Structure 1
Amino acid sequence: MAMTNEYRVTGMTCAHCESAVRGEVSQLEGVEQIDVSAADGRLVIVSAGPLDDAAVLAAVDEAGYEAARI
């Protein structure tokens, strides 16, 4: 069953920022779809099952930004 998780991401300002976040998050196991918006400061992930929030936050951190689950 697909699950949707939403995060607030701070520090993104452009399409390059979105691409960096998308690239890191896409490496997480189970991720099926990613929607990143610098304008809204949002990250929405659709996954095949539950995601480890710590892994998502670490992936966003690796891209150079901060995130918090909404």
Structure 2
Amino acid sequence: MTTQQFTVPGVSCQHCVNAITSEVSGLAGVQSVKVDLGSKQVRVEADGRTSTDAIVHAINEAGYDEVTVLN
């Protein structure tokens, strides 16, 4: 299991949380997605099948183009 964190500056409401959670949760291997509105960070726990690029792409698909990988 790996944990990856991202900053998504455009996250501002529960709709944002739901959109990102829905897109990222659909990726193979994702176990959990946590979006923190206060810090504007997304934390993803996944097995080895889920690449960082795939997670960033899923966040982009949810409507958030600016994503910074923290680890």
With normalisation by structure 2, the TM-score equals: 0.88
| Counterpart position of 1:32 | 31
| Counterpart position of 2:51 | 52
Q: 2:28·2:49 contact (CA, 8 Å) conserved in 1?
A: no
For structure 1, the 5+ residue unaligned runs are none
Tell me the amino acid that sits aligned with residue 62 of structure 2.
A
| Counterpart position of 1:10 | 9
Q: Which structure is higher in strand share?
A: 1
Q: Deviations over 1:14-44 (max 9, x none)?
A: 1110110000000111000111112211000
Percent identity, aligned pairs only, is 32
For structure 2, the 5+ residue unaligned runs are none
Distance 2:38 2:63 in 1: 17
| Counterpart position of 1:69 | 69
Distance 2:69 2:3 in 1: 11
With normalisation by structure 1, the TM-score equals: 0.89
